Structure 1
C-alpha cells in the first residue's frame, strides 16, 4: 500500500473514534506533510464527511467553480487554544465516493511533498485531473442501463479468460461494434420486453463484419427483478473491475457511457435476471442491410444514416449452440494474445 494512502486511512479512522464534531468544530488530525510550517490536516465534520485542510495565506482567494456533486472547495479558518490558520478546505460530500476522494487527496499530498511553495497550484493541478470524475452527468436511460448490463456480462466472460480483455471493449469509444479483436467482432443487444426478439440496428455498417473476419450478435432478454438471484448493475461493475488488470481504463470506458463511480447510487435499484440469451452469427442467412447488398443503388444522394429493425422471433436464423459460443469467446481472446 502507498504509505501516504495508509496514513490517510489511519488518520480518518482515528477521527471516527473521537467525540462527534459540531457545526463549528471539526475533528482534525495532522499529517506529516507541512506547508510553510503548518501541517496539512484531515478532518471530519458533524455529518462525518471527509475533509482535507491545506494551509494557505489568509489573503488567498480560491478559484471559483471547482465544486461538483460530490466535491466542495472552500476557504476556511480553523483555530484552537493556541493557533489560528486559514486553510483550503477540500470536502467530500458523498460518502459513497470516499475511496475516490482518498485517492485524490493522496495525489494532492504527493504534489505538496514535492513542492509546498504554492499549495493552491498543487491543489488545482490535481483537481483539474480529477474534475471529470466529479462532474454532474445525466442518468443513463432505462434502455441504456439494460444495454450496459448486457455488455458488462460479455465483458466479464472475456475478462475471466484474459484480464486485459477490456481493451477489446470498443463500444464506449463510439465505434460501430461493441467488442472487436483482430478479425472478430461482437455486437451486444438487450431488451426488457417480454415478447419477440427484435433488435434495432444503427447504421448501414453496424452488421458489417470486419474485413476478412466474422461478426456475432449477442442478444439478451433481461428482466428487472428484486429476486435473490438477480444481479445488480453496480455489483456487476464491481466484478468487472476486480477482474480487469487496469481498473482506471475500465472506469474511463464506463465514464464514456455516462456511468461514474461517484453517482453509482443512482443505479442501486437496477437489478436484472437473464431470461434468454442467444448468439447469432451474422452470415449470409442473417437478415440485414449492408453496404455490399445495397451497392449504392438504393441510397438517395446525401442519405448517410439508416436505422432499421431486424425481427429474430422465428426459428431462423438459428442461434449458435452453447459450446460454439464458448469456443467463439476463446478464439476471440486468442486473437489478442
Structure 2
C-alpha cells in the first residue's frame, strides 16, 4: 500500500505564486523527511531528493512526461547541495506524478537511497506502461470495469468509504474484492440469455480460507440515452472519498492500474449502459463450480487455460438478494 504524503494541498504551498525565471518555489514535505517539492516559473512540478555527491545522480528521460537529473541548489541560504530532481514536464500528468512521487517517498521511508527509489519506481511504471496500456480499454474491458465500479459505488461504499481498500480487481488478485471477512467476484454481462458468465480457471470460485465468497452478477445493456458510464461513477466515487485524501489517491491509483486514464474521459462518455438486473449469490461448497479439488487425479499435464460457463438462472438456492440494502455482510479491511 502506498501511503499518501504528497497531496494537492502540498503543492498549493509552492504554486500560490510564480517564481522568477530559472528559480524554484520550494517546500519541505514534512520535517521528518528530507524530501522537498518545488514549482518552477512555468508551473512544472519537481521532487527534490538530497544526494551525498552530484556524481551519484542518474539521468532518465525514458518515462512518460518525467525527467530525472542531478543539480546543485542553494536552499535557505545554506551552501550549495546536490539534489536528484524528478521533474514532471507535462501538467496533464500531475495526478499520475503524485502517485509516482508518493511511491518514491515510501521507498525512501523504508531505507532505500534516493537513486534506488527513483530507479525502481520508474522501472516498475515503465513495465506497467509496456504491458500495453492503451489510450482506452476495449469494450469488454470497459464493461468489466463498469461492473466493478458499479458494485463499489452502490453496494460497498455505503458500508464505509474505507471499503475502497478492498478493491483488488485492477491488481489481478484472485477475487475482485477481498477483505478479512468476505470476498466478492464481480461478473458483468450484456448477454440476452440472462445471468450467464464465463469463469476463468479453477481457482476463481475457490472458497477463501478466511471469510465468505460472494458472486455478484450484473446485466447491462448499451444505451446511449442512459446517464450511467464510467466517468459518472468515477466522479461520484471521488465525491464520496474527497474528504480523505489518502483514500482518494488509492482510488486514483487503482484506476490507473485498471488501465483507465482520465485524459480519455470524453471517449469513455460514449459507452453508456442501462442496468437490467443485479443479483448477489453466495458461493459455498454446494455451489455449482469447478475447482482443482473436483479433479480427483488433478489437472492433466498439458491442460491449461480452463474456462467454463455458469448459468446463474439455474442457481436459485444460492441467490441472496437483488439490492445492496438487503445484503448483510460484516465489512472489515
TM class by shorter-chain length? 0.5 to 0.7
Residues 106-125 of structure 1: CA distance to partner in whole angstroms, max 9, x if unpaired? 9999xxxxxxxxxxx97535
Question: What's the secondary structure of 2:94's corresponding residue?
Answer: helix
What is the CA-CA distance between 1:189 and the residue it aligns to? 0.7
Question: What's the secondary structure of 2:329's corresponding residue?
Answer: helix
Q: Tell me what 2:273 maps to.
A: 273
What is the CA-CA distance between 1:171 and the residue it aligns to? 3.8
Q: Tell me what 2:40 maps to.
A: 43
1:15-54 equivalence runs, <5 A: 15=18, 26=21, 28-31=23-26, 42-45=39-42, 49-50=44-45
Structure-1 separation of matches of 2:167 and 2:14: 39
Contact 2:72 2:82 in 1 (8 A): yes
Normalised to the residue count of structure 2, the TM-score between the two structures is 0.64
What is the CA-CA distance between 1:69 and the residue it aligns to? 1.0
Q: Tell me what 1:12 maps to.
A: 15
Q: Tell me what 1:65 maps to.
A: 60
Pick from 140, 143, 148: which aligns with 1:143? 140
Contact 1:72 1:90 in 2 (8 A): yes
Pick from 160, 173, 176: which aligns with 2:174? 176
Structure-1 separation of matches of 2:38 and 2:325: 53
1:152 aligns with 2:149: yes
Alpha carbon RMSD of aligned pairs, Å?
Answer: 5.0
Question: What's the secondary structure of 1:204's corresponding residue?
Answer: coil
- For structure 1, the residue ranges without an aligned partner over 5 or more in a row are 19-24, 34-38, 79-84, 110-120
Q: Tell me what 2:78 maps to.
A: none
1:118-137 equivalence runs, <5 A: 124=115, 127-128=118-119, 130-131=121-122, 132=124, 136-137=129-130
Residues 233-286 of structure 1: CA distance to partner in whole angstroms, max 9, x if unpaired? 443563575487644554555555445xxx432454224434223225246886
Contact 2:99 2:249 in 1 (8 A): no
Structure-2 separation of matches of 1:40 and 1:214: 45
Contact 2:47 2:101 in 1 (8 A): yes
Query: Which of 66-75 and 225-234 deviates more?
Result: 225-234
What is the CA-CA distance between 1:92 and the residue it aligns to? 1.8
1:209 aligns with 2:207: yes
Question: What's the secondary structure of 1:208's corresponding residue?
Answer: coil
1:288 aligns with 2:279: no
What is the CA-CA distance between 1:201 and the residue it aligns to? 0.4
Contact 2:161 2:241 in 1 (8 A): no
1:93 aligns with 2:89: yes
Are residues 256 and 106 of structure 1, via their aligned partners in 2, closer, same or farther at CA, if it must alter by over 3 Å?
closer
Normalised to the residue count of structure 1, the TM-score between the two structures is 0.63
Are residues 304 and 213 of structure 1, via their aligned partners in 2, closer, same or farther at CA, if it must alter by over 3 Å?
farther
Q: Tell me what 1:307 maps to.
A: 307
Contact 2:226 2:273 in 1 (8 A): no
1:326 aligns with 2:325: yes
Residues 188-225 of structure 1: CA distance to partner in whole angstroms, max 9, x if unpaired? 01134556443110122323334696543212233456
Residues 290-309 of structure 1: CA distance to partner in whole angstroms, max 9, x if unpaired? 456x4526954564652112
Question: What's the secondary structure of 2:220's corresponding residue?
Answer: strand
Are residues 91 and 284 of structure 1, via their aligned partners in 2, closer, same or farther at CA, if it must alter by over 3 Å?
closer
Are residues 243 and 90 of structure 1, via their aligned partners in 2, closer, same or farther at CA, if it must alter by over 3 Å?
closer
Q: Tell me what 1:118 maps to.
A: none
Structure-2 separation of matches of 1:242 and 1:40: 23
> Highest CA radius of gyration, 1 or 2?
1
